[in-house]
Amino acid sequence: MLIAVGYGKGSPGATTLGLGLAAVWPRPDVTLVECDPAGGDLWARFGHHPEPGLSALAASSWEGPIPGFFRQRLSVGADAVLAIPGDGAAASVLTLVDRGLDALRQASTTATVIVDVGRVDIRSPALPLVAAADHVLLLSASPLAQQAQVGARLPWLSNALSGELWLVGVGGHRTAEVSHDLGLPVIGTVPYSRWGAGVLSGQLRIPNWRRLKLARAVRRIAVALCAFEPEPDPRPARMVVWPAAGRGVVPPAPTLAGRWGGG
Average pLDDT, the chain: 83
pLDDT band at 232 (very low <50, low <70, confident <90, very high): low
Task: Say whether pTM exceeds 0.85.
Answer: no
Range of weakest confidence among 58-62, 140-144, 164-168, 230-234: 230-234
The mean pLDDT of 134-138, rounded to a whole number, is: 94
- Cβ-count burial of 200 within 10 angstroms (0-12 exposed, 13-18 middle, 19+ buried)? buried
Res 154: pLDDT: 78
Sheet (strand 72-73) strand order = 72-73, 79-81, 30-34, 112-119, 2-7, 135-141, 164-170, 186-190
The mean pLDDT of 83-101, rounded to a whole number, is: 92
Neighbours of 59 (CB within 10 A): 12
Comparing 262 with 210, which gets the higher pLDDT? 210
Taking the C-alpha atoms of residue 171 and residue 190, their distance in angstroms, rounded to an integer, is: 6
Domain 2-236 superfamily per CATH: P-loop containing nucleotide triphosphate hydrolases (3.40.50.300)
Domain ranges within the chain, ordered by starting residue? 2-236
Residue type, 160: A
